[in-house]
C-alpha cells in the first residue's frame, strides 16, 4: 500500500485489466489522484466508444481523469502528423512492434503520461522532498502478463513506485477482471490496442469496420518498398495466419479484391505527391497528414484513377 502522502496515478488503457483495477481500487477506498489515458490517435473504434462510458463512471465518483497524447515537434519537410497511423504513413514504415521492438508503446503511451506527471503539482511537491509518485499498472495474473512483469522486475525509478494490484495483491486473471466489471454494472470493454498493432489476433482484425481495414491495407502498401525481413504488420507468417494483414483481409474476403488492388496501386503514389507538394509550403501553413487521410477515407477508388 502506498504511503498516505504519496500521490497515486493510474494508467487506464481503455481495456479490461486497467478498467477492473481502477474499479476495485476505488471500491476499497484507496487514494487515487488521477487517471491517465494515452491516446495514440488510432485506437480501435470500440475503445473510443467505451471511453465516455468509463469517463462518466469516473466523473460520478469525482475521479480526475485526463487524455494525454504524444506531440511531435519537428516535422522536417513532412506534413505535420499527430497519431501513430499518421507517423507510419509519413515515414513509410510500420509500428515498432512489427519489427519486434517495443518503442512504440514508450513513445505513444509512456512518454505522454510521464510528461503530464512532470507538470503535475502533486508530483513536483513529493519529488521536492525525495518521495515518489505511485503509478498503478493493470498487469493481471495471467502467464502473459506475468512474463511482461518479469521483464520490468527490479527496475528502480527515481520518480515512481509501480504497483501491480491485479497481479501481486488480488491475483486476478482476465476472467476475474471481466467479472468485476460486470458486477459494477458496466459493459466489458474490448481488448485495447491501436488498429495497426502487431499484437492483434486474427479475430480482432476480422471484427474491424471496413474503413479501418482500408487503413491497414494502406499502411502496409506505403511501407512495402522499404520492408526487407518483415512481411507486414504481423511481421512473419504462422501456421494460423500470414505475416501481412492485407493478405489476411484478402483471404477472408473482408474487402473486395478490386478495392484492395486500388489502394495498393494508387494510394501510396498519391500520398507521395501530397508530401512533395507539402514540402514546399512553410511548416506553419503546411497541410496536415490528417487532411490526406480524410480524403483517402472519402473514396479510395478515386486514388487509383
Cell of 86: 499518421
Looking up residue 113, the CATH number of its domain turns out to be 3.40.50.620
Same domain assignment for residues 109 and 30: yes
- Residue 217's nearest CA partner among 250, 191, 184 is 250
The answer to whether residue 153 is domain-embedded is yes
Rounded Cα gap, residues 31 and 2, in angstroms = 9
The arrangement of strands across the sheet holding 8-11 comes to 65-68, 34-38, 8-11, 133-136, 160-163
Same domain assignment for residues 138 and 241: no
pLDDT at site 150: 62
Same domain assignment for residues 104 and 216: no
Residue 299: count other Cβ atoms within 10 Å of its Cβ: 10
The answer to whether residue 197 is domain-embedded is no
Q: How many domains does the chain have?
A: 2
Same domain assignment for residues 168 and 227: no
Same domain assignment for residues 250 and 177: no
The answer to whether residue 217 is domain-embedded is yes
Helix, strand or coil for residue 135? strand
Same domain assignment for residues 67 and 97: yes
The answer to whether residue 196 is domain-embedded is no
Phi-psi region of 92 (alpha: psi -120 to 50; beta: other; left: phi over 0): left
Longest pairwise C-alpha distance within the chain: 64
Examine the fold and report which residue of 183, 215, 247 is the final residue of a domain before the chain moves on: 183
CB-count exposure of residue 44 (10 Å: 0-12, 13-18, 19+)? buried
pLDDT at site 301: 46
Residues contacting residue 32 through CB under 8 Å, at least 6 positions apart: 8, 9, 10, 22, 25, 26, 63, 136
- Residue 271's nearest CA partner among 96, 74, 108, 81 is 81
The answer to whether residue 2 is domain-embedded is no
pLDDT at site 100: 87
Range of 267's domain? 202-304
What is the number of alpha carbons within 13 Å of residue 156 lying toward its C-beta? 1
CA 236 to chain centre: 21
pLDDT at site 221: 97
Give, for all 305 residues of the chain, the pLDDT tens digit.
566 689 999 999 999 999 999 999 999 999 999 999 999 999 999 999 999 999 999 999 999 999 999 988 877 667 888 999 999 999 899 999 999 887 688 889 999 999 999 999 999 999 999 999 999 999 998 887 777 766 666 677 999 999 999 999 999 999 999 999 999 999 999 999 999 999 999 999 999 999 999 999 999 999 999 999 999 999 999 999 999 999 999 999 999 999 999 999 999 999 999 999 988 888 888 899 999 999 998 875 454 44
Same domain assignment for residues 143 and 230: no
Rounded Cα gap, residues 1 and 141, in angstroms = 18
Same domain assignment for residues 174 and 103: yes
The answer to whether residue 194 is domain-embedded is no
For every residue of 262-296, DSSP letters joined together read: HHHHHHHHHHHHHHHHHHTS-TTTPPPHHHHHHHH
Rounded Cα gap, residues 292 and 159, in angstroms = 40
**E strand residue ranges, the chain:** 8-11, 34-38, 65-68, 133-136, 160-163
Instruction: Specify the length of the chain in residues.
Output: 305
The answer to whether residue 148 is domain-embedded is yes
3-state SS of 193-240? CECCCCCCCHHHHHCCCHHHHHHHHHHHHHHHHHCCCCCCCCCCCCCC
Same domain assignment for residues 46 and 160: yes
Contact assessment for residue 32 and residue 63, using Cβ atoms and an 8 Å cutoff? yes
Same domain assignment for residues 212 and 150: no
Same domain assignment for residues 295 and 212: yes
Same domain assignment for residues 161 and 231: no
pLDDT at site 215: 97
- Residue 192's nearest CA partner among 8, 20, 72 is 20
The answer to whether residue 101 is domain-embedded is yes
Amino acid at each position: 500500500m502506498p504511503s498516505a502522502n504519496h500521490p497515486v496515478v493510474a494508467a487506464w488503457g481503455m481495456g479490461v485489466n486497467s478498467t477492473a483495477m481502477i474499479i476495485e481500487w476505488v471500491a476499497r477506498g484507496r487514494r487515487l489522484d488521477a487517471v491517465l489515458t494515452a491516446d495514440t490517435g488510432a485506437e480501435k473504434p470500440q475503445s473510443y466508444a467505451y471511453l465516455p462510458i468509463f469517463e462518466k463512471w469516473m466523473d460520478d465518483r469525482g475521479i480526475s481523469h485526463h487524455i494525454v497524447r504524444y506531440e511531435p515537434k519537428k516535422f522536417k519537410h513532412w506534413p505535420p502528423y499527430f497519431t501513430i497511423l499518421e507517423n507510419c504513413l509519413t515515414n513509410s514504415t510500420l509500428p515498432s512492434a512489427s519489427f519486434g521492438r517495443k518503442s512504440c508503446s514508450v513513445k505513444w503511451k509512456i512518454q505522454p503520461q510521464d510528461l503530464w506527471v512532470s507538470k503535475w503539482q502533486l508530483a513536483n511537491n513529493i519529488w521536492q522532498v525525495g518521495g515518489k509518485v505511485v503509478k498503478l499498472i493493470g498487469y493481471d495474473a495471467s502467464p502473459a502478463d506475468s512474463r511482461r512483469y518479469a521483464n520490468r522486475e527490479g527496475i528502480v525509478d527515481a520518480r515512481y513506485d509501480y504497483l501491480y494490484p491485479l497481479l501481486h495483491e488480488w491475483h486476478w486473471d482476465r476472467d476475474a477482471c471481466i467479472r468485476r466489471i460486470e458486477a459494477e454494472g458496466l459493459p466489458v470493454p474490448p481488448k485495447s490496442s491501436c488498429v495497426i498493432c502487431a499484437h492483434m489476433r486474427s479475430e480482432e482484425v476480422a471484427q474491424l469496420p471496413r474503413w479501418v481495414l482500408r487503413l491497414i491495407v494502406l499502411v502496409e502498401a506505403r511501407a512495402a518498398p522499404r520492408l526487407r525481413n518483415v512481411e507486414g504488420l504481423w511481421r512473419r507468417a504462422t501456421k494460423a495466419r500470414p505475416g501481412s494483414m492485407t493478405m489476411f483481409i484478402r483471404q477472408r474476403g473482408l474487402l473486395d479484391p478490386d478495392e484492395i488492388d486500388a489502394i495498393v496501386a494508387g494510394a501510396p503514389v498519391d500520398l507521395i505527391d501530397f508530401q512533395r507538394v507539402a514540402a514546399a509550403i512553410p511548416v506553419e501553413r503546411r497541410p496536415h497528414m490528417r487532411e490526406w487521410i480524410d480524403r483517402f477515407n472519402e473514396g479510395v477508388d478515386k486514388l487509383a484513377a
